[in-house]
Every structure is written in C-alpha cells, then in structure tokens.
Structure 1
Amino acid sequence: MESFEPVVSLRAADNVGAQIRSKIETGELKPGDRLPSERELAAQFNVSRNTVREAIRSLETAGVIQLKKGATGGAFIREGSSMGVVASFSDLLALGTISPEHLGEARAIVGSVAARLACERASDDDMKRMEACVEEAAAGAAAGDMDRRSRANFQFHLELARATKNPILEILTDAITSINKKFAERVGPPPNEEIIPSRKRLMRLLKARDADGASREMEDHLIRLQTFYSARLEQEKGGAASSRKGRKTVKATG
C-alpha cells in the first residue's frame, strides 16, 4: 500500500479520515487490514499524533475501524457494520430531525420488502433460523419472560433481513431495529396476542413462498406495532405534562 499524503487543506483530522476512507473505497485497504501505527500515520500525514487520534476516534464512531488492545492490537478496518448508521439515526432522532413516526414508517417499508425478498431467496437454513426465533419468542411469551421474547423477536428481524441476501437491507434493518429496542425498553413490550400470532402467520407464508401475503402480513404487523408505540409515547408525554402542571400548582399555592 502506498503511503498517505501530507495534509495540506481542510480540517486536519477530517483530511486524515477522508484519505483513509478513500483507500478503503479503492481497495487498497480491506476489511481486517491493520492501519500503520499512530506514530507512522502522524509522519505520513505530517500532522500531530493528537490529530491522528481524533481522526481514528471519528472513524471508530462511524463504524469504519475497530480498535483492538494488546500486543497484536491496533486500528483495523472493520468488516461491514451498521454502527455508523445506528449512530446517525440515533443522533437525528435525538435532534428531532426524524420522529418515532418516521422511523416506524420506514421500518414497515423495509420490513415488507424484506419479507417479499426472503420468500424468493431464503434457503432452508434461513427458514430454520427464522422458525427457531419464532419458537424462542413463543416460549418466552408462555413463560412470561418478555425480555426473552423481545430478544427473539428482534433476532427474527435480523434473520429475515439476512435471508434477502441484500447487505443494504440487512444494515438498515439492524440500524432501525437497534433504535426500536430503545422504544421497547422505554414504553414496554407490545402484548403477546399481537406479536406471536402474527409471527406464526408470517412463517407459514414464508414457507409457502407467498411473497404478496408475507409482505402484507409484515407491513400490517409493523404498522400495528408503531400504533402501539405511538400511543404509549403520547401517554408518556401526557403524564409528564400533568406532572409538570402539578408541580407548578403546588409551587403557586405553597
């Protein structure tokens, strides 16, 4: 691999990151490759080691590289990961650029497309993994273990996305599902009578390779789920508003 060029423009750390990304795009750096040491990078870029550290931290946050400790550690180009997408979505949600409703709508679209493609592309092993998730979710529900049920349900979505053989759908599903976990933890899980029967219907449609039916079932299910989450979030907002109003009343009359 050719050495990097000295930084001559832009914010130094951004330039360092851009050059590393460029070498990944051209194939000079591949997943699993180890970057030169911090000292070597600083010399090649003609910048301080602090600047290199800042660039590396930024690339790590974006999910481009992975830092490993120990004698064989260092900065390595990461295998495909949704970390950067998750971080971006989370930031946009926190800033109010996207809303839970936007997220739910996107999830329904991605999920319905994934169900359709999985009908066409899923292998027998894919089907077995998805069915195992459904059985695990049902077992968790029967035992009253909502955490177990939720973990299995989220894993089902990831297995469904993998069955499409489309890495972009897999990354999007992973990112959206990761954020959706936060809503589930915040407002509580949806009832069993919605989740488990829908998942079993979907598995029957997937096995029958009924693309239209599977797509429709997944979309309808995710829309119902978003309605549930939206209602819970509204209740939460209403409760918070009532609490603030109560505190103001006490203060005014105290």
Structure 2
Amino acid sequence: MADEVQFQPARPRRAIDEIISQIRASIQRGDLGPGDRLPAERALAEQFAVSRNTVREALRMLEISGLIILKKGATGGAFITKLDHSVAARSLSDALQATNVSLSDVTEVRLWLEPIVINAACERMTAEHLQALQDNVDQASKLSAEGDWERKAVVHVEFHNLLADATGNPVLAILMRSLSDLLREFVLAVGPTTDDIILRSRRRLLGHLRKRDAEKAVQEAQRHLKRVHKMWLTGSYKGAYTES
C-alpha cells in the first residue's frame, strides 16, 4: 500500500467528484501505480474529511471507470488496476474541457465517430466483448430499478467505452473515452430523468450487434443520439417522453 500518498480534505459540494479527481491525479503523477492498494475506507474518509459512504461511492465509480478494482476479504481493498487507455483519454478530455467545447460539438463528433466504432466492433468483437456490453445493460437496468440515477448515468456512458474497446483499436478507445468523460460530466449536471429511453435503445442496439448487423446498429445509435441531444437542448429530457 502506498502509505506515503496523502489526500486533502474534499469540499462538501461534489465531494465524490473531488475524491475521484484527487485519486486520478495521483495515478497520473505516478504516485500510485498498478497493484498499489489505497488506504482503507476509514483512513480515506479521514483524509478527505467526508463520510465513509461518500468514499465508498467514489470508489465504486472509480471501479466502474476501470481505474481500480475492489476486492473483498482480509487481504482485500481498493487496488489500482493496470494502466490502460483511461489516463490518455482523461488528458485529452481535460484539454477539450479547457477549450469550452459545447454539447453540439461533442454530439457532432460522436455522430462522425460512432459509425466507425460500430462497424469495426461488428467485425472484431468477441463473445467476451458482447458479454461485457450485456453486463453493462443489465447493471444499468438494475440501477434503474433501484432509482440510483447517478450510478446508472455513469454505467450508461461506460457502454460507449466498452463498445470502443471491442474494436481492438487503442486510438478509437482513447478518443471515445475522452468524449465519454465530457459526456459524463454533462449528464450528471443535467440530473435524473423520469423515463429511461436509453435502456430501450441499448437493448435494440445490442440485438443488432449480436447479429453483426452494422447498418442497423449505426441507424439505432445515431437515431437515439439525435433524439437525446434534442431533448437535452430543449430541456425535455426530464419530461414524459415515451418510446416503444
């Protein structure tokens, strides 16, 4: 365990985001590396000056993003995973955020990039990739039933990263993760929704992916993206929008 790593008290507002940011920064600086174990929840809570529940939630989100793995038992804890595309993607997303890109900018790039990702994934994805996508949809469905909209939003965004991973191309994976970082911040800022059209679209998309039908998969992804983008811009995302 990297005992020498010390964190600063987190500000009460958006404390979870700040905890994630500090841990992510420690990884990027090299203070924490693959296999290192973070301090116990109690110690982290003291350092960040927050509750253990807040620390636990931040660790769960870090696990979803792939930066750590949580292990149970006497020898368990939160361990830094092997460095992957997430570090490079975060650097790129930070640079994009500094340029004050708009939602329309992000949507436009996604409309260009998603057909490339989907076509490559349909050609190259394995059974393991498909299972990871299915597990993601199942997890989102479970969180939706529990009313945990914030974690569900993070899981929804992670779907795009898993799909990009299925292409086997690290450049596509990094580009998608950088866009996902921007998208996640926006989705969390928008807040909870009353109708989860994303889950229904994801199930249709997954069905096309299983059949390796890239054309229909692209049509579903772009159709859904345009509708969600329009709802975000008009503020109707929290309304009673329904879809069969």
TM range, smaller chain: 0.5 to 0.7
Q: Which residue pairs with 2:30 in the alignment?
A: 66
1:121 shift after superposition: 1.0
Match of 1:81 among 75, 82, 85: 85
Preserved contact between residue 153 and residue 188 of structure 2 (Cα < 8 Å): no
Within-5 A mapping of 1:51-130:
66-68=30-32, 79-96=83-100, 98-130=101-133
Q: Over the residues paired in the alignment, what is the CA RMSD in angstroms? A: 2.8
Give 5+ residue unaligned stretches, structure 1. 1-59, 73-77, 234-254
1:214 shift after superposition: 0.6
Provide closer, same or farther for how the CA distance between residues 214 and 189 of structure 1 changes in structure 2, counting only shifts above 3 A: farther
Q: Give secondary structure in 2 for the equivalent of 1:209.
A: coil
Provide closer, same or farther for how the CA distance between residues 84 and 159 of structure 1 changes in structure 2, counting only shifts above 3 A: closer
Aligned residues with identical type, % of pairs: 27
Q: Which residue pairs with 2:213 in the alignment?
A: 210
Q: Which residue pairs with 1:167 in the alignment?
A: 170
**Once the two structures are superposed, what CA deviation does each residue of 1:16-36 show, in whole Å capped at 9, x if it has no partner?**
xxxxxxxxxxxxxxxxxxxxx
Within-5 A mapping of 1:1-254:
66-68=30-32, 79-96=83-100, 98-232=101-235
Count matched residues.
Answer: 165
Please say which structure displays the higher CA radius of gyration. Answer: 1
Provide closer, same or farther for how the CA distance between residues 87 and 230 of structure 1 changes in structure 2, counting only shifts above 3 A: farther
Mean CA deviation greater in 205-214 or 109-118? 109-118
**Once the two structures are superposed, what CA deviation does each residue of 1:178-201 show, in whole Å capped at 9, x if it has no partner?**
111110111124554421110000
2-structure distance, mates of 1:200, 1:191:
19
**Once the two structures are superposed, what CA deviation does each residue of 1:144-169 show, in whole Å capped at 9, x if it has no partner?**
22123223212211111111111111
1-structure distance, mates of 2:109, 2:99:
18
Q: Give secondary structure in 2 for the equivalent of 1:164.
A: coil
